[in-house]
Chain A
Amino acid sequence: AQKVTQAQTEISVVEKEDVTLDCVYETRDTTYYLFWYKQPPSGELVFLIRRNSFDEQNEISGRYSWNFQKSTSSFNFTITASQVVDSAVYFCALSGKETSGSRLTFGEGTQLTVNP
């Protein structure tokens, strides 16, 4: 069975602070894919990043960065110099090649609030 755990239910920061959202996953697949989505109050899930299990290189996109560590089964997401517009629910998700195909297993999400 696959599982994604986002232990932080809610995080509140002040604008310009850095914040890290944790994601820990479980899978028996040897090939798998990890995703992060952002859900602002409007409701739409916005795709942020996709990473496959063979690529452990960390990635940076503007103020966003992702740290993938297979040794600890973690795929953490950091926002640098947070802004009010970053306030949203963030979901980590997993799909496994052998067991689930395109089916995504989502974590329960982390509500991030960035205060001015």
Chain B
Amino acid sequence: ETGVTQTPRHLVMGMTNKKSLKCEQHLGHNAMYWYKQSAKKPLELMFVYSLEERVENNSVPSRFSPECPNSSHLFLHLHTLQPEDSALYLCASSQGRLAGGTQYFGPGTRLTVL
């Protein structure tokens, strides 16, 4: 595997389900990000992890719970989601959090909440 991978690629869940999104980066980076991309909206940064520590949480509802067990893996745990949470969830990684660091993105998980 190379670059940034995400699983699953597609997920359909009910509002009462609990599921997790997984992201893995093979680039040796130490910062990872979760973004949400809804139809007709700009990309929204959700969480930033640096050296496995959460350094940014942009007012994301608690039904989204991130986890970063090591610098290569990032999870997004989902529970009791709402239909408006249906979106493309993108993971990215970069080397450090200094400005100018290029973020490399995974292919995304297309989430549908019924």
The stretch of B12-20, B59-67, B72-80, B99-107 in contact with A is B99-107
Is B51 on the interface with A (CB-CB < 8 A)?
A: no
* Main SS at interface, chain B: loop
A-B contact count (CB 8 A): 63
Count of interface residues, chain A, beta-carbon cutoff 8 Å: 28
Q: Report the separation of the CA atoms of residues A106 and B110 in the bound assembly, to the nearest whole angstrom.
A: 20
Q: Are B97 and A43 in contact (CB under 8 A)?
A: no
The stretch of A12-20, A27-35, A69-77, A78-86 in contact with B is A27-35
| With A102-B94, A102-B97, A102-B99: A42-B107 Cβ-Cβ less than 8 Å | yes
The number of chain B residues touching the other chain, given as a range, is 20 to 34
Across the interface, name the chain B residue whose C-beta is closest to A45. Answer: B105
* Main SS at interface, chain A: loop
CB contacts (< 8 Å) of B101 on chain A: these are: 95, 102
Which residues of chain B have a CB within 8 Å of any CB of chain A?
31, 41-43, 45, 48, 56, 88, 90, 92, 94, 96-108, 110
